[in-house]
Amino acid sequence: MGRESLGEFEQLVLLAIVRLGSDVYGVPIVEEIRERTGRSVSRAAVYIALRRLESKDLVTSRMAEPTPERGGRAKRMFRIQPAGVELLRESRQALLSMWQDIEPALEEQ
């Protein structure tokens, strides 16, 4: 496989970033996934996914101002990159075409 492909979990994380706007940090990302999917995702898994996405240049991040309710620690703000958007589109396309006209076949199973 010449290009990187996205795992399902990575897709969820990327989508959450897109949904939340341009600059988002860890806490709302986890919440967004939880609320939308109804799944209890592990926070550690999300952070590891973010790390991988960044190493594949699908997202970038920068450090933001520290706030007191975080014990004076800075946030890390994530933003999706064009490559990420493209990969998301590809994944969607792939899935959609796989799903096309599949209902009758599913019924028979």
Binding residues (CB under 8 A) for another protein: these are 25-27, 42-45, 47-48, 51, 63, 66-67, 69-71, 73-76
Q: What values do phi and psi take at 100, rounded to 5?
A: -60, 130
CB of 43 to another protein, least distance (A): 6
Neighbouring C-beta atoms of residue 69, cutoff 10 Å? 6
Which CB sits closer to another protein, 19 or 62?
A: 62
Cross-strand bridge partners of residue 50: none
In three-state secondary structure terms, 66 is strand
**In the complex, minimum distance from the CB of residue 48 to another protein, in angstroms, rounded to a whole number:** 5
Token representation of residue 47: 């952070």
Least distance from another protein to the Cβ atom of residue 19, Å? 18
